[in-house]
């Protein structure tokens, strides 16, 4: 969203038949989720089945013409699909490859699902919100998700600047940093 807000042409790829889970988040206005519309403003969207060879071929063609790719699967998923950074840099050596995961890309928790509320709980943030003497409370906003997005945006922009200087692409692995990426050992 931030890259799109800054003028980048962003193409969001969603799962065919299902799309982004956020499409169902309330409030629904004129048949669309206001939450989804806010987070996906200024983006173009399409569906693509990355498990099919046809979908992978279309994806590779898109990558060959792209500056930056950002994905948020669990570590190893894109590699299993044959679409990891090592595979894609052969198609586009200048590609900036950003990947966000809940608990980093190595370490004891790397394969765990990372949702905002998990990040808030594991980080201890929920113990600082709510009412004195009360139970830990989720913040009013998805702050762990926001931090993961910010970390990724900063990482890919730094890699893009490096590419402008050196001509080389690169990979930026991000997790919500100060929240729970520390548990995994990388952020």
Catalytic residues: 145
d(CA 54, CA 56): 5
The H or E element that residue 159 is part of is helix 143-166
Distance in Å from the first CA to the final CA of the chain: 20
Closest among 126, 135, 75, 130 to 105, alpha carbons compared: 75
d(CA 29, CA 66): 33
Alpha-carbon 58 to chain mean position: 20
Contact 125, 136 (CB under 8 A): no
Strand stretches in 39-124, DSSP E: 43-47, 68-71, 96-100
């Amino acid at each position: 969203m931030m890259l799109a807000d800054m003028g980048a042409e962003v193409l969001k790829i969603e799962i065919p038949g299902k799309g982004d889970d956020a499409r169902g988040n309330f409030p629904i206005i004129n048949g669309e989720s206001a939450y989804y519309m806010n987070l996906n403003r200024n983006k173009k969207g399409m569906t693509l089945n990355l498990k099919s060879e046809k979908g992978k071929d279309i994806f590779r063609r898109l990558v060959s013409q792209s500056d930056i790719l950002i994905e948020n699967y669990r570590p190893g998923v894109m590699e299993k699909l044959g679409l990891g950074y090592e595979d894609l840099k052969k198609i586009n050596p200048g590609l900036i490859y950003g990947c966000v995961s809940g608990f980093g890309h190595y370490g004891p928790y790397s394969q765990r699902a990372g949702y905002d509320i998990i990040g808030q709980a594991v980080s201890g943030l929920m113990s600082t919100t709510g009412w004195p003497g009360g139970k830990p409370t989720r913040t009013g906003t998805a702050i762990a998700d926001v931090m993961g997005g910010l970390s990724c945006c900063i990482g890919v922009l730094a890699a893009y600047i490096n590419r402008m200087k050196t001509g080389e692409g690169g990979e930026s692995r991000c997790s919500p940093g100060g929240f729970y990426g520390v548990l995994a050992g990388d952020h």
